Amino acid sequence: MGGFGVACGRRWQALRARSRSHGRLILRLRRGLAVALLLGAAALAMRPGVSAGEATVPVLVAAADLPQGTTLGAEHVRVARMPESLRPGGAYTEPGTVDGRLLAGATRTGEPLTDVRVVGTHGDLAGLGGPDRATVPIRLADAGVAEFLHPGSTVDIVAPQTPEQQRRVLAEGAVIITVVDDSGERKPGGNPRGPMVLVSVPEAAAAQVAGVSLTDSLAVTLR
């Protein structure tokens, strides 16, 4: 009986020691967590942010997701207010300043419209490069190239090689007016077509570009 009591006492002491050890471990973990939370709060406090009393200013933003080449109208934009420190440089503030102009690239809802996101009107772009220009629609051979094009881009238009002719440049210094997002369409029994692109070309080259584009998809090289 005496031996049993001694064994029970030793076991009880071991359990108490283990409990104290676990308690100290939990205490250390709690202290570590508290320190981490304090450090995180300090880091957040040091981050530059918007002052509570900072004045807001009007900024013109996209009213919806808009594709590249959209001709902007009142239905495409709205005026929002944001802290002055967050307003991007060159941001527009009045809807009338972008009316009839083209988006240089796709824009998300609420994205501020700036002077680098908005380019001229169709007429402005068609006249780039001087007088005696004509607007011609072409079909791109490589749909992937379209993502690198935006209104105002300058390109050379190249006809594909055929059994009768080598690859050749049809027009130099063509200006992209807009890219029409219809690349998913198919001709009956054919492959997906490349996107349609409206380009401004010298009048002297317009007839040749238009003629070749009726039967062939064309390539462009970026300048």
3-state helix, strand, coil in the chain (%, to 5): 35, 30, 35
pLDDT the model gives residue 191: 45
pLDDT the model gives residue 189: 44
Minimum mean pLDDT among 113-117, 126-130, 145-149, 167-171: which range?
126-130
Dihedral angle sign, alpha carbons of residues 42, 43, 44, 48:
positive
Give per-residue pLDDT as tens, 82-127.
998 889 998 999 999 999 888 877 789 999 999 888 877 766 666 6
- Distance (Å, rounded) from C-alpha 69 to C-alpha 118? 9
The CATH number of domain 56-119 is 3.10.100.10:
no
| 3-state secondary structure (DSSP) of residue 152 | coil
- Distance (Å, rounded) from C-alpha 143 to C-alpha 22? 65
Number of H helices, E strands in the chain: 3, 9
pLDDT the model gives residue 190: 45
Return the DSSP state at 85: G
